[in-house]
């Protein structure tokens, strides 16, 4: 086995590794049999693509010969291990080759075990690879004449083999990291002996239905799928175009992946240092305190009081985890519990952590039913700990804890989800995973447990305890009754959830113990019957509570199964009564004419009690939420017909949307955050049912509400995708001039603004302005203001446009348009209206950045006084105004102590309200650093900016405007600390990351030139000054007499003076007359 170098360009950026198949050697696989041309050497333009081509060669007969290959997984694992070792010898760390991206092209062979090099692997091209196995004819026909029969390795490649499924289970969690393209053969291979044609690997096996994976057929045989001699050969153009696309994209992605790996290693190194530091035994009292003091218990549900059994498994979990309070380690202890839905995994975990609460410093519970809910769980954790409501904040906080903690990742059932994303860095953690996916056990580090049915005796005890909660059972413990109980438990597979349901049915006197088994056996005899039996009993009752209960469970079927707020119906009630949608069905409790009152609340409680009494749902009285087991949730949805599902899905979406206030009041933001998983669940179901959304006006209004909730919680990308659909529908259905279309466009422009997609925002707001200019409230508006209309919607659009112009750097245009917006809004609404105050604030900010400091400060003081009066001191708009007022003090170089006090207070409040990692909190840190610099406290500025650099990179990204601002401020602080070279290295990359038309580009260049002058790099400083001045003149960003322009000109003049270039200095003064004449 070896890796052979086929081609090497002068400066390779990517490695292309070719792995041949089982039926041909490397030289046979990639070469045309007629011309003997090796297309990877002779046809592929490796120099132009800057791609080194390697070929992995192995003895395929060792695998295919009978008795030579061993098991499939072991045979492939051996090959993968050798491939890794061979590749290492070609990827020298000294020239950073180990970080070079890898693209695999595999013929009929899968590299699913290459985990050791998956960090650098960007893409895999599978050329006729049997992902789902080979059929029997294919195995026999391809080996006929070579061996007397197939070996064990080949037999294990047959379709549906357990070994093949094991390989697939290992590959699926890793596959989402790669770009994958599956190709399949479209011509049969002809067998000379049998005189028949067959597909070596059929399409279903070569191109299974994987999410986000490209696939294409090639009109050749299995062998010919990788044999090209000309550019016109079938399939070459597609394969070449795919390689070019991957080669272009790979370096950036792999570099980012290695950077993340570096950060992880740094974190692990810090952890090891902590391990060593904490190796000194603390005082005995401290040990006692840490061992038994539980500080954090973030678990949003409690264990069932009727839980029994699983004592053996609890002992094994405790043994595998060991001493939870032991000295921190460098590796997490991960334990996986997998098994059937309803086998009691979640309840077992709740009971385990409840019993061991005193042993853990912190216990945290995350719902991992999908990626969205898992991310929200970590975001909620970050928010609770005061670090910011983002997934990254929660993960970062856990990763940096020096004390030991226990994390439960519950319901991690999705095989396509990369579960390892939710393992924090570091090694202090004990992680308990519950899942129905057996493939998840590959993540364990201390062991795994498979949950099936309960122990028969424990199952019987549980059933009797639930059926007869009194101290003594209501039947004689005669052998017959014992036998009946055993029969029920056995028929239910000893599954905890099914036993709970059966116990509830007997407790509610739906059936006696004897009658239950008879009815169950006659009712299709499957686990679903355990919920269908009590549900049919509920549905047969005529009482209002039972009828409401039936409707309630049908509504819950389309929410997320966990934490459904009881107040959902109350908050949606008023909106639904005003709704004119005839197509949506609603719960009877919402169709009454009166407003929601105490009677309605009691009616809801009675319906919830009915469902709880039959163990169909769980209810947390303190938190006022309802939850369903995932299996029950699936049953509740699947039992409905397609038409019923469509109706109740529409009802769920409408109730969610109506519960969201149109004005998004700040006081209700916590409730709206609770709705996120339910919104996700509804949107997912709507896509499955309707495909294209929205399909009517009501659906568009609902999706817009959902998009606004996403936006409010910082999920701008998800918000944008939804809102774009709403805008497209309304433009088509209602027209461009319609009020609702314009409102949707305004929301979308705001989402573009927050994503810093400035050009899209400006384009959309320009269209809105034009539409509002034409949409006059009356004929008198045309007569009195023919060119500059003054009506509210137009002035609001002006303000929006002014705000985006400011963001794009067009400050003068922003000021002029902002003045018109302020004039119109204050005239129409007065200066107390929030819209007027918003326009005044935006105008003040434009004044500030144009150097009109007095005008800016006067406006800011006026706005702050009113916002503080109407909204309070901690409202986001008030905090923004206070922040900007303090920066106006800094710009005027006055009241610096007051500015320091204001910004420090705003930072403290934002940290409390938003968290440490929120964008606005990080903004305040940057502004505080500017004050420190203005007051000569350079080291403190460097310190606070160093602290937030990794946070900004993690939460906003390296190229986001917030990172550019942070690095620019840090460079300025370095200058104050006489760290000139550090400042230069930090600021130089920023020059290419900002548009040369943006004012910030000039500010950064000004700093850069100042640094170059100090370091004596006069030639580069001169070139930089001239380039900046040329841009100022070309784009008219600043006037020639503007302070910023003169600042650059003076730096150039200083260079001329130092070099005694008096003529150049004179010409510069003539070009910029406001400069003082140079001294000769």
- Residue with the bigger pLDDT between 816 and 94: it is 816
- With a pLDDT cut of 70, the percent of the chain lying above it is 83
Please report the DSSP string for 457-483 in residue order: HHHHHHHHHHH--SSS-SS---HHHHH
CA–CA gap between residue 711 and residue 305 (Å, rounded): 40
**What number of other Cβ atoms are within 10 A of residue 147's Cβ?**
15
Tell me what pLDDT residue 857 has.
93
What average pLDDT does this structure show over 94-103? 77
Q: List pLDDT tens digits, range 604-626.
A: 999 998 888 777 888 888 888 99
**219 found inside a domain:** yes
CA–CA gap between residue 432 and residue 333 (Å, rounded): 9
Domain boundary among 537, 552, 574: 537
**346 found inside a domain:** yes
Q: Are residues 149 and 50 in the same domain?
A: yes
Q: Are residues 134 and 253 in the same domain?
A: yes
Per-residue pLDDT band at 167 (split at 50, 70, 90):
low
Q: Determine contact, residues 105/17, Cβ cutoff 8 Å.
A: yes
Conformational region of residue 142, where left means phi above 0, alpha means psi within -120 to 50, and beta covers everything else: alpha
Tell me what pLDDT residue 96 has.
64
Domain boundary among 537, 565, 586: 537
With H, G, I as helix, E, B as strand and everything else as coil, classify residue 200. Answer: coil
**Residue 98 reports pLDDT greater than 50:** yes
Tell me what pLDDT residue 525 has.
47
What average pLDDT does this structure show over 771-782? 78
As to burial, measured by CB atoms within 10 angstroms (0-12 exposed, 13-18 middle, 19+ buried), residue 322 is: exposed
**What number of other Cβ atoms are within 10 A of residue 1056's Cβ?**
20
What average pLDDT does this structure show over 6-17? 90
CA–CA gap between residue 488 and residue 498 (Å, rounded): 10
**Range from 6-20, 296-310, 1022-1036 carrying the lowest mean pLDDT:** 296-310
Phi, psi of 405 (to 5 degrees): -140, 165
Q: Are residues 331 and 418 in the same domain?
A: yes
Q: Are residues 88 and 203 in the same domain?
A: yes
Please report the DSSP string for 814-835 in residue order: HHHHHHHHHHHHHHHH-TTSHH
Domain boundary among 435, 451, 467: 451
Q: Are residues 93 and 170 in the same domain?
A: yes
CA–CA gap between residue 394 and residue 382 (Å, rounded): 4
Q: Are residues 244 and 310 in the same domain?
A: no
Q: List pLDDT tens digits, range 433-477.
A: 999 888 888 888 888 888 877 777 777 777 777 777 764 444 445
Q: Collect contacts of 538-542 with beta carbons under 8 A, ≥24 apart.
A: 538/610, 538/611, 538/614
Tell me what pLDDT residue 997 has.
79
Q: Quote the mean pLDDT of the chain.
A: 82
Estimate the crossing angle of helix 834-849 against helix 876-892, to 10 degrees: 30
CATH code where residue 1004 lies: 1.25.40.10
Q: Determine contact, residues 190/197, Cβ cutoff 8 Å.
A: yes
CA–CA gap between residue 662 and residue 658 (Å, rounded): 9
CA–CA gap between residue 821 and residue 835 (Å, rounded): 10
**698 found inside a domain:** no
What average pLDDT does this structure show over 855-880? 92
Tell me what pLDDT residue 1080 has.
40
Tell me what pLDDT residue 195 has.
77
Nearest by Cα to 425 from 255, 298, 266: 266
**77 found inside a domain:** yes
CA-based torsion, 501, 502, 503, 506: positive or negative: positive
Q: List pLDDT tens digits, range 524-568.
A: 445 566 677 778 888 888 899 999 999 999 999 999 988 899 899
What average pLDDT does this structure show over 836-863? 94
Q: Determine contact, residues 992/964, Cβ cutoff 8 Å.
A: no
Structure tokens given for 346: 């979640």
Radius of gyration of the chain (CA): 34
With H, G, I as helix, E, B as strand and everything else as coil, classify residue 661. Answer: coil
- Residue with the bigger pLDDT between 322 and 290: it is 322
Q: Are residues 98 and 232 in the same domain?
A: yes
Q: Are residues 315 and 401 in the same domain?
A: yes
Q: List pLDDT tens digits, range 978-1030.
A: 999 999 999 998 888 888 778 888 888 888 988 998 898 999 999 989 988 88
Q: For residues 331-363, b (16+ Cβ closer than 10 Å) or e, as one string? A: ebbbbbbbbbbbbbbbbbbbbbbeebeebbbbb
Q: List pLDDT tens digits, range 811-830.
A: 889 999 999 999 999 999 99
Helix (H) or strand (E) holding 190: strand 189-191
Tell me what pLDDT residue 820 has.
94
CA–CA gap between residue 271 and residue 249 (Å, rounded): 34
Q: Are residues 438 and 462 in the same domain?
A: no
Q: Determine contact, residues 330/429, Cβ cutoff 8 Å.
A: no
CA dihedral 744→748→750→754, nearest 10 degrees, is 160
Helix (H) or strand (E) holding 123: strand 121-127
Phi, psi of 449 (to 5 degrees): -130, 135
Q: Are residues 22 and 89 in the same domain?
A: yes
CA–CA gap between residue 814 and residue 752 (Å, rounded): 18
**969 found inside a domain:** no
Q: List pLDDT tens digits, range 395-412.
A: 888 888 878 889 999 989
**Residue 290 reports pLDDT greater than 60:** no
**Residue 382 reports pLDDT greater than 50:** yes
The count of domains in the chain is 4
CATH code where residue 220 lies: 3.40.50.1820
**Residue 18 reports pLDDT greater than 60:** yes
pTM score of the predicted model? 0.63
Tell me what pLDDT residue 69 has.
45
Q: Are residues 337 and 303 in the same domain?
A: yes
Q: Determine contact, residues 882/841, Cβ cutoff 8 Å.
A: no
**885 found inside a domain:** no
- Residue with the bigger pLDDT between 578 and 11: it is 11
CA angle (599, 602, 605) in 5-degree steps: 155
Q: Are residues 410 and 368 in the same domain?
A: yes
- Residue with the bigger pLDDT between 452 and 707: it is 707
Tell me what pLDDT residue 519 has.
63
CA–CA gap between residue 1041 and residue 1032 (Å, rounded): 11
CATH code where residue 372 lies: 3.40.50.300
List CB contacts of 1032: < 8 A, sequence separation 6 or more.
Answer: 1002, 1038, 1040, 1045, 1048
- Domain range holding 1045? 994-1080
**109 found inside a domain:** yes
**Residue 706 reports pLDDT greater than 90:** yes
**938 found inside a domain:** no
**Residue 113 reports pLDDT greater than 50:** no
What average pLDDT does this structure show over 186-196? 81
Per-residue pLDDT band at 139 (split at 50, 70, 90):
low
In sequence order, the β-bridge partners of residue 298 are 364
Whether the ω angle into residue 694 lies within 30 degrees of 0, i.e. cis, is yes
Structure tokens given for 1038: 């600043």
């Amino acid at each position: 086995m070896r890796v052979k170098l086929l081609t090497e360009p002068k400066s390779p950026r990517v490695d292309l590794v070719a792995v041949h198949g089982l039926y041909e050697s490397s030289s046979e696989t990639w070469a045309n049999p007629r011309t003997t041309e090796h297309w990877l050497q002779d046809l592929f333009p490796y120099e132009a693509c800057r791609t080194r081509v390697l070929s992995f060669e192995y003895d395929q007969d060792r695998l295919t010969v009978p008795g030579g290959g061993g098991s499939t997984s072991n045979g492939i694992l051996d090959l993968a291990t050798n491939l890794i070792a061979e590749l290492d010898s070609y990827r020298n760390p000294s020239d950073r080759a180990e970080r070079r991206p890898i693209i695999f092209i595999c013929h009929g062979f899968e590299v699913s075990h290459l985990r050791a090099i998956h960090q650098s692997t960007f893409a895999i091209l599978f050329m006729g690879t049997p992902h789902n196995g080979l059929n029997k004819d294919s195995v026999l026909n391809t080996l006929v004449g070579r061996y007397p029969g197939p070996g064990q390795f080949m037999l294990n490649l047959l379709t549906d083999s357990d070994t093949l499924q094991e390989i697939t289970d290992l590959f699926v969690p890793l596959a989402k990291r790669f770009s994958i393209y599956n190709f399949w053969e479209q011509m049969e291979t002809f067998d000379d002996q049998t005189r028949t044609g067959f597909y070596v690997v059929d399409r279903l096996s070569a191109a299974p239905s994987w999410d986000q994976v490209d696939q294409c057929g090639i009109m050749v045989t299995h062998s010919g799928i990788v044999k090209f001699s000309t550019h016109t050969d079938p399939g070459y153009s597609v394969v070449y175009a795919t390689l070019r696309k991957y080669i272009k994209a790979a370096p950036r992605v792999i570099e980012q992946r290695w950077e993340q790996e570096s950060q992880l290693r740094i974190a692990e190194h810090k952890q090891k240092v902590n391990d060593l530091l904490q190796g000194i035994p603390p005082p005995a009292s401290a040990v006692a305190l840490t061992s038994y003091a539980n500080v954090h218990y973030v678990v949003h549900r409690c264990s069932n009081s009727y839980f029994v059994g699983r004592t053996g498994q609890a002992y094994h979990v405790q043994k595998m985890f060991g001493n939870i309070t032991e000295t921190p380690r460098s590796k997490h202890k991960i334990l996986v519990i997998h098994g059937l839905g309803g086998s009691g995994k979640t309840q077992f975990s709740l009971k385990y952590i409840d019993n061991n609460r005193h042993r853990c410093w912190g216990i945290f519970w995350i719902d991992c039913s999908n990626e969205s809910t898992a991310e929200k769980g970590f975001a909620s954790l970050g928010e609770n700990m005061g670090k910011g409501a983002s997934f990254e904040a929660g993960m970062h906080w856990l990763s940096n804890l020096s004390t030991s903690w226990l994390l439960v990742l519950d319901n991690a059932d999705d095989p396509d989800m990369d579960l390892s994303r939710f393992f924090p860095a570091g090694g202090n953690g004990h992680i308990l995973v519950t899942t129905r996916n057996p493939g998840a056990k590959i993540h364990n580090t201390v062991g795994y447990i498979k949950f099936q049915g309960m122990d028969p005796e424990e199952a019987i005890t549980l059933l009797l305890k639930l059926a007869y909660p009194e101290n003594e059972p209501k039947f004689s413990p005669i052998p017959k009754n014992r036998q009946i109980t055993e029969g029920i438990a056995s028929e239910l597979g000893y599954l905890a959830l099914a036993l709970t349901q059966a116990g509830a049915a007997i407790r509610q006197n739906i059936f006696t113990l004897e009658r239950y088994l008879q009815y169950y056996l006659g009712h299709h005899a499957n686990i679903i019957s355990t919920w269908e039996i009590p549900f049919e009993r509920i549905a047969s009752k005529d009482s209002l509570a039972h009828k409401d209960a039936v409707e309630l469970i049908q509504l819950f079927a389309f929410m997320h199964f966990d934490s459904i707020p009881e107040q959902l119906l109350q908050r949606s009630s008023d909106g639904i009564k005003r709704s004119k949608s005839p197509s949506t069905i609603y719960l009877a409790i919402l169709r009454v004419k009166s407003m929601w009152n105490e009677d309605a609340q009691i009616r809801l409680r009675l319906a919830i009690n009915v469902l709880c009494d039959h163990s169909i749902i769980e209810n947390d009285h303190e938190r006022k939420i309802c939850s369903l087991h995932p299996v029950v949730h699936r049953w509740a949805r699947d039992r409905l017909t397609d038409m019923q599902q469509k109706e109740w899905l529409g009802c769920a979406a409408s109730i969610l949307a109506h519960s969201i206030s149109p004005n998004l009041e700040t006081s209700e933001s916590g409730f709206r955050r609770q709705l996120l998983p339910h919104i996700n669940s509804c949107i997912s179901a709507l896509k499955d049912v309707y495909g294209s959304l929205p399909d009517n006006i009501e659906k568009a209004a609902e999706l817009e509400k959902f998009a606004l909730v996403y936006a409010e919680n910082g999920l701008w990308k998800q918000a944008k995708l939804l809102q774009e659909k709403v805008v497209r529908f309304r433009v088509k259905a209602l027209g461009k001039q319609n009020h609702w279309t314009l409102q949707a466009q305004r929301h979308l422009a705001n989402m573009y603004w927050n994503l810093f997609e400035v050009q899209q925002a400006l384009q959309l707001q320009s269209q809105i302005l034009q539409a509002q200019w034409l949409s006059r409230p009356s004929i008198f508006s045309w007569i009195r203001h023919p060119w500059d209309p003054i009506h509210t919607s137009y002035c609001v659009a002006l303000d929006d446009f002014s705000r985006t112009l400011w963001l794009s750097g067009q400050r003068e245009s922003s000021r002029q348009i902002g003045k018109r917006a302020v004039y119109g809004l204050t005239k129409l609404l007065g200066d107390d209206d929030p819209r007027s105050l918003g326009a005044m604030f935006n105008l003040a900010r434009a004044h500030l950045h144009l150097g009109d400091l007095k005008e800016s400060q006067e406006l800011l003081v006026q706005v702050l006084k009113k916002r503080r009066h109407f909204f309070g001191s901690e409202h986001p708009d008030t905090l923004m105004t206070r922040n900007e007022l303090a920066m106006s003090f800094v710009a005027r170089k006055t009241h610096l102590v007051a500015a320091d006090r204001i910004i420090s207070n705003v930072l403290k409040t934002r940290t409390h309200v938003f968290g440490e990692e929120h964008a606005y909190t990080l903004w305040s840190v940057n502004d505080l650093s500017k004050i420190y610099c203005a007051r000569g406290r350079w080291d403190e500025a460097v310190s606070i900016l160093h602290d937030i650099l990794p946070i900004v990179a993690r939460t906003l990204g390296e190229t986001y405007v917030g990172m550019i601002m942070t690095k620019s401020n840090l460079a300025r602080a370095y200058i104050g600390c006489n760290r000139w070279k550090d400042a230069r290295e930090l600021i130089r990359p920023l020059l290419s990351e900002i548009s040369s038309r943006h004012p910030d580009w000039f500010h950064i260049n000004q700093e850069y030139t100042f640094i170059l002058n100090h370091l004596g790099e006069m030639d580069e400083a001169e070139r930089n000054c001239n380039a900046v001045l040329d841009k100022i003149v070309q784009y008219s960003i600043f006037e020639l007499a503007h302070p910023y322009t003169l600042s650059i000109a003076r730096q150039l003049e200083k260079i001329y003076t130092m070099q005694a270039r008096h003529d150049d200095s004179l010409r510069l003064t003539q070009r910029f007359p406001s400069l003082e004449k140079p001294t000769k």
